[in-house]
Amino acid sequence: MVNGFECPIPISDYDRITLAHGGGGRLTHRLISQLFLHLFDNEYLRPLHDGAVLEMDGKMAVSTDGFVVSPIFFPGGNIGDLAVNGTLNDVAMCGAKPLYITLGFILEEGFRLKDLWEILVSIKKRSDEAGVKVITGDTKVVERGKGDGIYVHTTGFGRVLEGVEIGPHRVRPGDRIILSGPIAEHGIAIMSVREGLEFETPLKSDTMNLWPLVESILKAGKEDVHMLRDATRGGVASALNEIAKSAGAGIVIREEEIPVRDEVRGACEILGLDPLYVANEGKFIAIVSPERADELLDILRGVPGGEEARIIGEVVEESPGVVQMITAFGSRRVVDMLSGEQLPRIC
Amino acid sequence: MVNGFECPIPISDYDRITLAHGGGGRLTHRLISQLFLHLFDNEYLRPLHDGAVLEMDGKMAVSTDGFVVSPIFFPGGNIGDLAVNGTLNDVAMCGAKPLYITLGFILEEGFRLKDLWEILVSIKKRSDEAGVKVITGDTKVVERGKGDGIYVHTTGFGRVLEGVEIGPHRVRPGDRIILSGPIAEHGIAIMSVREGLEFETPLKSDTMNLWPLVESILKAGKEDVHMLRDATRGGVASALNEIAKSAGAGIVIREEEIPVRDEVRGACEILGLDPLYVANEGKFIAIVSPERADELLDILRGVPGGEEARIIGEVVEESPGVVQMITAFGSRRVVDMLSGEQLPRIC
C-alpha cells in the first residue's frame, strides 16, 4: 500500500522489471492493464488503443519533457512528481489550463516493481490534484546497465485561456518582473542527497503545480501578463536570459529582492553554487505591465505557494538581450547564461 | 553533409555530447538553436518557448512512443526514421491524418554529434514527407554508461477524418482481416545485424509512413473500416490478439495467406523465430466490412507499400478473445500472445 493505493498485483521486494515487460507480449499487457490502467483509468485510456482520441478546440498548448533525475527519490518527491508538475508547468507557462498528459517510460531491467508502483502513485496524485487525465502511454525496457532505473517522458496539453496571449513579443520596457517565491530549493535538495549533506531543517524540493498561481494573475489581468517562464534547469538566471534574448530587451534585477531561504543559502555556500543558477521546480517568473504589477503581486501572494512572491526588477530599453543585477553593494554586474554544466540530472 | 543537409556548426568525428549539452545553459541553447531550429524551423517551434501553442479543432488523435532500438543505425533506417514513422503510424491507426510531432531526446555523454546530426536529418526527412511539423522538444544528457547513445521519445497528433470511427467496438463477426504486406522485415533486419548474419539480398527494415495507405481505404469506405492496428512489437500475432481481446471477438487466419518473403523466412529459420511474432514497422491490419473487403483490398494494392496486401482471415463468433490459424496442412492452432521477450529493443 503506497499513499492509500493498493497495487492490484502482489509485489514483493524481489519483484523486478524484466526485458519481457517491454516486449509487447503478455507481461507488457499485464503491466499496462494491471498497473497503469488500474491507477489512471479514464475514457481515453480505457480502449488501450495505440493512441487516444479526444475533442479539442481553440488554442491548445503542448509541451514535452524528459526526466532523468538522480536520485529517483529525493526529499520532497520523486521522478513521478517532477514529470507531472514539470510538464504541466510548461503548459501553464503558455497561459493554458493543463488538461491531459501522456506518459512514456524507459525502464532498466532489474528495476524494482515496488519503486515503479510508488512512482505511478505519485503520478496519479499529482495529475488528480491538477485535474489532468493520463490519456496514453508507452513502456520500453533496456538491458541492465543501459539505463538508470527509470527515465520518464511526458507530453502535456492544455487550453489557452480566452484572450490570453503570452510571449516574448509582448515584453515591453518598463514591465515589472515578478518572481513567485524563494529560489534554488529543488537543486539544493537533490545536491544535498548526492553529497550526503544533512541540515537541521531538511531541504525539500519545491516541486509543485504552478497553474493555480498562474491562473490567479491571468484571471485578474489577462492583458497585463506578458510573459511567463518557470525557472527550472539553469535557474532564474537562465530563465531571465532566455526572456531577454527572445524579447530583445534588457533586464535589470535587484539582488536584495531575490528571496533565498537561509538554509538554502548556506547549502549553496558549502556546495559552491550560485542560487541564481540552481534549478527550481515550483517557481516562475511573470513579466507584467507596470500599472498592474503591485495588484497582481498581491493576488499571487494570496494563493498557496505564492506567499513570498516579489517584484525583483524590470525590463529596460538599454542593453537588449542582457540581464544585469544591482548587487547588495549597489554595483552592477552582468548575469550571464550558465555556461557548461552546473548540476547534471537535476530533473 | 548528410542527405543534402549541411550542419550549421562544423562537426568533426571527435565532437561528442557532453553533460553540459543537457544543462539548460549555453551549450543546450546552441544545440537547440543551431541544430534543431535550423532543421525544423516553423512558426510553432521558432519562439523556443516552453511549449507550442496551436489551433486545434475537432477530434484529435494523440499517441506517444519511446524508441530504444539497438543498433541505432540499421539496414533501411535509423532510430530517427523509426521514431517519426512509428509515432505517426499510431496516429494513423486512429483514423487520423498526422499533423504535428514533439521530440524528446535522452543522450548519453560521449555520443557522437555527427550521429546525432544524421538522426536529426532522418527525422527531418520523414516528417517532411509526412507533411508533419516538429512543434516542440526536449533534450537531456545522462552520464556515460547510464544510457546507450540515444533514446528518443515522440508524441504525435493528428486530426481524425470526418465521419471516421475506428475502434474495437466496431469489429463484427464476418469482418475481413486485411494485412498490408509481407511481415517480419523490421525485426529480421535488426536481428541479422546483431547476429552478424549476411544474406545475398540484404534484409532491410520496412519502416515507412502508413498514412497514405490508411487514407486510401478510409476515403473509399469510411464506414467500412472498423479497426486498424500496426503490427509492431510482438508482430502480427500480438496485434491480432489485442484486437480479439479488446473486441471480445474470435479471429481465424489462414497461414498460406500470410505473406513472408523467402529471405525473411530463411532468416527466421536460422534465428529460430516465428515470423508471426516478429516486429514490423511498415505493416498494418485493417478489419473491414465483408461487403467492401475486396474493393478496399484493390485500392490498398494501388498505393505504394500496399502492393502485396492480402485478406488473411476473418472475425468469427466462436472463441471470443482467441486467435486461431488454419495451418498449411489444414489443421487449426491457437496463435497466442507472445509470452516473455523474443526480441529486446527492436524499436
Report the half-sphere exposure of A49 (CA within 13 A, side-chain side). Answer: 28
- pLDDT confidence of residue A342: 66
Closest CA to B345 of B68, B119, B160: B68
Taking the CA of residue B341 and the nearest CA in chain A, the distance in Å comes to 4
| Residue B102, amino acid | T
Give residue-wise pLDDT tens across range B83-94: 999 999 999 999
Residue B32 has pLDDT above 90, yes or no: no
Residue B20 has pLDDT above 80, yes or no: yes
A and B: number of Cβ contacts within 8 A: 274
For residue B307, the 8-state DSSP code is T
Instruction: Flag if A64 and B104 touch (Cβ within 8 Å).
Output: yes
**Average pLDDT in the B281-287 region?**
98
The cell for A258 is 531575490
Give residue-wise pLDDT tens across range B187-213: 999 999 998 888 777 799 999 999 999
* Exposed e or buried b per residue across B185-208, where buried means at least 16 C-beta atoms within 10 angstroms of its C-beta: bbbbbbbbbeeeeeeeeebebbbb
The residue among B28, B31, B43, B64 with the most chain A CBs within 10 A of its CB, best to mutate, is B64
ipTM over 0.90: yes
Q: What are phi and psi of B244, to 5 degrees?
A: -60, -45
Closest CB to B25 among A65, A96, A337 = A337
Beta bridge partners of B177: B287, B313
Residue B325 has pLDDT above 80, yes or no: yes
**Cell 484529435 appears where?**
B60
Contact list in B for residue A65 (CB cut-off 8 A) is: 104, 138
Contact list in B for residue A89 (CB cut-off 8 A) is: 50
Report the half-sphere exposure of A32 (CA within 13 A, side-chain side). Answer: 27
The reported pTM is 0.95
CA of B108: how far to CAs of B147, B155, B199, B347, in Å?
Answer: 5, 21, 32, 18
Neighbours of B14 (CB within 10 A): 8
Give residue-wise pLDDT tens across range A35-55: 898 899 998 888 767 789 998
Residue A198 has pLDDT above 90, yes or no: no
Beta bridge partners of B345: none
φ/ψ bin of A330: left (φ > 0), alpha (ψ from -120 to 50), beta (otherwise): left
At residue A340 the predicted structure's pLDDT band, cuts being 50, 70 and 90, is low
Instruction: Flag if B59 and A64 touch (Cβ within 8 Å).
Output: no
Average pLDDT of every residue of chain A = 93
Which ranges in B100-200 belong to alpha helices (H)? 113-129, 185-195
